[in-house]
Amino acid sequence: MKVFLLDDHELFAKSLTIALSSFEVELDTYSNYSSLLDTLHHDEPDIFLLDVQLKETNGFEVAASLLASDPNRRIIFLSGFEGSYHLNKAFEIGAKAYLNKDISVEILIETIESVYLGEVFCFESGNVLSKREIAVLELVAEGLIQEEIAEKLLISRRTVNNHIHSINNKLGVTSSLSSVIKAIKDGIIVLK
């Protein structure tokens, strides 16, 4: 099985090459998107492993571009970022899996093999915020009050209040301020 890794951390790429050498995986590593694109003119992998944060661009943009030219490509994100913001974004784009870099080699291999066979790993859990809840939380983070949020999202103030209550429950906090702090820390929302 052929896998292309796009990650600008040379040490991580080398470590992964060594870790995967005892498995039936042919890993080609790329530190920038342009060199990966050059290779794609004459060679296509079974799986793409992409980091989210890259020096020249970001993995989400790369994934969108790769899938725009061939929607059948299988993409796995392998990132240091946790939280539902990145998870949701990855699956919106069309990734087949989203893994944290601290996983074991065995889990990575299992995921690569499963994605190769056509499975999709969307790790849902009870505390993942909905898109609407994330939108509400981002506006809370910007300092808007409930009436302003309701107006901006074209929903009632009661609905905003219900969303905030649900967000606090999911994040295990008791106030909007605490939920914003926790959501930023966990990568659920990103301050603009």
In tens, the pLDDT along 46-79 reads 999 999 988 888 899 999 999 999 999 999 999 8
Q: What is the DSSP letter of 79?
A: E
* pLDDT confidence of residue 57: 85
C-alpha 47/C-alpha 115 separation (Å) is: 8
- Stated pTM of the model: 0.65
Structure tokens at 132: 């609407």
Which has the minimum average pLDDT: 113-117, 151-155, 166-170?
A: 166-170
Straight-line distance from the first to the last Cα atom of the chain, in angstroms, rounded to the nearest whole number: 40
- pLDDT above 80 for 192: no
Residue 124 — pLDDT band, cuts 50, 70, 90?
very low
Nearest partner of 12 among 43, 53, 62, 41, judged by Cα: 53
pLDDT in tens, 83-109: 677 888 888 899 998 888 888 888 889
SS3 assignment, position 139: helix
Domains and CATH numbers, the chain: 2-116 (3.40.50.2300), 131-185 (1.10.10.10)
Q: What is the pLDDT of residues 5-19, one digit of tens each?
A: 999 898 999 999 999
Question: Is 174 in a helix, a strand, or coil?
Answer: coil
pLDDT score, position 111: 87
When pLDDT is cut at 50, 70 and 90, the band that residue 122 belongs to is: low
* Amino acid residing at 160: V
Taking the C-alpha atoms of residue 141 and residue 129, their distance in angstroms, rounded to an integer, is 15
